[in-house]
Amino acid sequence: MPRWPRPPRLPEGMPVAEVTAVTHGQGSSQHAAQHVAHQFVDADQQHEAGTLGMWIFLVTEIMFFGGLFAAYAIYRGLYLPAFEFGSRLLDIRLGTTNTAVLIASSLTMALAVHSAQTGKRKALIAFLLLTMVFGATFLGIKAHEYVHKWDDFLVPGLRFAPTEALPAGVTLPNLQLFFCFYFFMTALHALHMIIGLGIMTVLVIQARRGRFSADYYAPIEISGLYWHFVDIVWIFLFPLLYLIGGRY
């Protein structure tokens, strides 16, 4: 029975008999059919539901990080000199490198999805693993930065006693506020990356078992959406934390 109100996407000029066959799910492959959960009518519905579900989850993530961005915007507006000074204390080379690394991981993730769509199992696994390597590299560099900040006595609440002379208009509490945001936002971002690495581990294991094909790759695509979102958060964190500190 066709799904209504929007009928399934069918090629132009398909004969009526074939229409019925397709809408009864006989047009989709055996492979796709065995992965359709019982509550769904067909694989298409499942794919669309999964994708919409991930997008809505990303909406919640936008609002989750968004609260932090809003707070950051307000305090930056109130304590500009302190935020600019704090920004200058961050390592711009490591930040830029990390940005490039994460963008590369987004490319490999997109290529992983492409491999799945074109049924190339080995390429899929390779690109997933590459994405994980880039992700781990990012986290390694981040950890290195965190250790640096600890050594420089710039960790709010736990070890905050910067040795640098504070410029005019910068107070210690305001500088600590900047570093609160630096740590909270990048740590929350890093946590999301770690979760992403976990998801990709599961995908690699499943891909090696031959779970995915050109007809069934929704989990790859959906995980890709999550990973690209994590990349986008960093695309904003990088300039807001590292770049607008008056480094001239």
Partner 1 sequence: MSTAVAEVPVATPVNYLNAKYGIRSWLLTTDHKRIALLYLVSITFMFFIGGAAATLMRMHLITPGGALVQPETYNKLFSIHGIVMVFFFMIPSIPAVLGNFLVPMMVGAKDLAFPRINLLSWYIYVVGALFTLYAILAGGVDTGWTFYTPYSSTYANSHVIAAALGVFVSGFSSILTGLNFIVTIHKMRAPGLTWFRMPLFLWAIYATSIIMVLGTPVVAITIVLVALERLLHVGIFDPKLGGDPLLFQHLFWFYSHPAVYIMVLPGMGVVSELIACFSRKRIFGYSFVAFSSLAIAVISFLVWGHHMFVTGQSIYAGLIFSLLSFLVAIPSAIKVFNWTATLYKGSISYQAPMLYALGFIGLFTMGGLTGLFLASLATDVHLNGTYFIVAHFHYIMVGGTVMAYMGGLHFWWPKITGRMYSDAWARFAALLIFVGFNLTFFPQFMLGYLGMPRRYATYPAEFQVLNVMSSAGASILGIGYLIPLVYFIYSMRYGPIAGPNPWRATGLEWQTPSPPPTENFEETPVVTEEAYAYAQMAPPAAVAGGNAGG
Partner 2 sequence: MSQHIVPVKTYVAVFLALLCLTALTAGVAFINLGAMNTVVALVIAVTKMLLVILIFMHVKYSSRLTKIVIVAAFFWLGLLLTFTLTDVFTRHWTPSPSDWGPSISAPAPREK
Are the beta carbons of 154 and 89 closer than 8 angstroms?
yes
Longest Cα–Cα distance in the chain = 81
The whole-angstrom separation of Cα 1 and Cα 23 is 7
Positions in 106-165 near partner 1 (CB under 8 A):
156-158
Shortest spacing between CB 46 and partner 1, in angstroms: 9
Size, binding site for partner 1 by CB under 8 A: 42
Are the beta carbons of 32 and 204 closer than 8 angstroms?
no
The whole-angstrom separation of Cα 236 and Cα 65 is 11
The whole-angstrom separation of Cα 201 and Cα 215 is 21
Among 80, 126, 141, 197, interactor with partner 2 by CB under 8 A: 80
Q: Which stretch binds partner 1 (CB under 8 A): 3-11, 140-148, 205-213, 220-228?
A: 3-11
Q: Work out the burial of residue 203: count CB atoms within 10 Å of its CB; fewer than 13 is exposed, 13-18 middle, 19 or more buried.
A: buried
224 binds, among partner 1, partner 2, none (CB under 5 to 8 A by kind): partner 2
Tell me the two tokens of residue 170.
């910068």
Minimum CB distance to partner 1 smaller for 54 or for 112: 54
Determine if 169 is a binding residue for partner 2 (CB under 8 A). Answer: yes
Positions in 66-95 near partner 1 (CB under 8 A):
66-68, 70-71, 74-75, 78-79
Number of other CB atoms surrounding residue 77 within 10 Å: 9
170: left (phi over 0), alpha (psi -120 to 50) or beta: beta
The whole-angstrom separation of Cα 83 and Cα 87 is 6
Which residues contribute to the site for partner 1 (CB under 8 A)? Answer: 1-5, 37-41, 45, 48-49, 52-53, 56-57, 59-61, 63-68, 70-71, 74-75, 78-79, 156-158, 171, 173-174, 176-177, 180, 184
Which residues contribute to the site for partner 2 (CB under 8 A)? Answer: 9, 28, 32, 43-44, 47-48, 51-52, 55-56, 58-59, 62-63, 66-67, 69-70, 73-74, 77-81, 92, 96, 99-100, 103-104, 106-107, 109-111, 114, 117-118, 169, 171, 174, 214-216, 221, 224-225, 228-229, 231-232, 235-236, 238-240, 242-248
